[in-house]
């Protein structure tokens, strides 16, 4: 089975303090209107596990980590065994996830297969369906709870399109995180136009009230 749509051979930006490659898994269980990767979400894989592992063998000593991104890598049915193979080559693993598969996140953690996780907090429950084409906040909170009690380093992040979410939504989300014990930085990235997206979106003209948001979030460019 060819699970990977593509491999980015080198990044210093996507895995904290870790020179890494990015594995882009084809397919996703959501359809976020602002998604920058429609080709990956709707596409099929071109690279199988053996090719990906051969790539990692060639990079041993040059790279230290692998970012599992996509798409949504937790939908790949052989993710655990694939992660074991990656780990056996000495690589650290970062998981990028929308949090809709808490069962998979738990299994990865229980088997000590991930070193860092970036968890997307998409929207408050009332806006999940409109923004993500499905999903539910409950599963996000299950994933959050698993991570929070796991000892695995993680961060929570949100993409903010000012026509889809407003400042009140972001502040509510930040407060919800805090009330559930999140004491790390809550990263918010403002939607950048100019790329193909799943929904027809352009940059918003609405002025964002950054001063209001500042006490609650960390802006990420």
Binding segment toward ligand SF4, per CB under 6 A, in 3-11, 30-38, 60-68, 111-119: 30-38
C-alpha dihedral (53, 59, 61, 62), degrees to nearest 10: -140
Sorted by sequence, the CB contacts under 8 Å of residue 17 that are 6+ apart come out as none
Site for ligand SF4 in 177-196 (CB under 6 A): none
Alpha carbons 9 and 204: distance in angstroms, whole number: 33
Helix axes 102-110, 137-148, angle to 10 degrees: 10
Q: Is 63 in the site for ligand SF4 (CB under 6 A)?
A: no
Q: Is 87 in the site for ligand SF4 (CB under 6 A)?
A: no
Binding segment toward ligand SF4, per CB under 6 A, in 29-37, 177-185, 187-195, 206-214: 29-37
Complex with ligand SF4: residue 59 or 191, whichever CB lies closer: 191
Measured over the CA atoms of residue 120, residue 125, residue 128 and residue 130, the dihedral's sign is negative
Q: Is 197 in the site for ligand SF4 (CB under 6 A)?
A: no
Q: Is 70 in the site for ligand SF4 (CB under 6 A)?
A: yes
Site for ligand SF4 in 90-129 (CB under 6 A): 98
Residue 139 CB, nearest distance to ligand SF4 (Å)?
A: 12
**Cβ atoms within 10 Å of 179's Cβ, excluding its own:** 8
Binding segment toward ligand SF4, per CB under 6 A, in 23-31, 50-58, 86-94, 142-150: 23-31
Q: Is 28 in the site for ligand SF4 (CB under 6 A)?
A: yes
Q: Is 45 in the site for ligand SF4 (CB under 6 A)?
A: no
Report the phi/psi class of residue 151: left, alpha or beta, with left for phi > 0 and alpha for psi in -120 to 50: left
Residue 112 CB, nearest distance to ligand SF4 (Å)?
A: 25
What residues form DSSP beta bridges with 66? 21, 93
Binding segment toward ligand SF4, per CB under 6 A, in 16-24, 66-74, 183-191, 200-208: 66-74
Q: Is 22 in the site for ligand SF4 (CB under 6 A)?
A: no
| Angle at alpha carbon of residue 193, lines to 187 and 195, rounded to 5° | 105
Sorted by sequence, the CB contacts under 8 Å of residue 77 that are 6+ apart come out as none
Q: Is 37 in the site for ligand SF4 (CB under 6 A)?
A: yes
Beta strands in 128-170 (DSSP E): 153-160
Residues near ligand SF4 (CB under 6 A) are 28, 30-32, 35, 37, 41, 70-72, 98
């Amino acid at each position: 089975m060819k699970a990977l749509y593509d491999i980015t051979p080198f990044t210093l930006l996507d895995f904290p303090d870790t020179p890494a490659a990015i594995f882009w898994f084809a397919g996703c269980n959501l359809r976020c209107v602002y998604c920058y990767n429609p080709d990956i979400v709707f596409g099929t894989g071109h690279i199988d596990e053996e090719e990906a592992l051969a790539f990692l063998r060639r990079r041993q000593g040059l790279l230290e980590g692998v970012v599992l991104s996509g798409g949504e890598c937790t939908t790949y049915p052989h993710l655990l065994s694939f992660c074991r193979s990656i780990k056996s080559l000495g690589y650290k693993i970062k998981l990028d996830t929308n949090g809709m598969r808490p069962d998979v996140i738990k299994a990865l953690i229980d088997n000590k297969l991930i070193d860092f996780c970036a968890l997307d907090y998409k929207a408050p429950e009332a806006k999940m369906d409109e923004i993500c084409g499905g999903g539910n906040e409950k599963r996000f909170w299950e994933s959050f709870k698993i991570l929070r009690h796991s000892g695995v380093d993680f961060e929570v992040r949100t993409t903010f399109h000012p026509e889809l979410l407003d400042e009140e939504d972001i502040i509510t989300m930040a407060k919800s995180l805090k009330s559930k014990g999140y004491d790390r930085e809550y990263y918010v990235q403002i939607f950048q136009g100019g790329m193909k997206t799943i929904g027809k979106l352009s940059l918003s003209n609405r002025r964002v009230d950054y001063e209001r948001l500042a006490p609650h979030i960390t802006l990420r460019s």
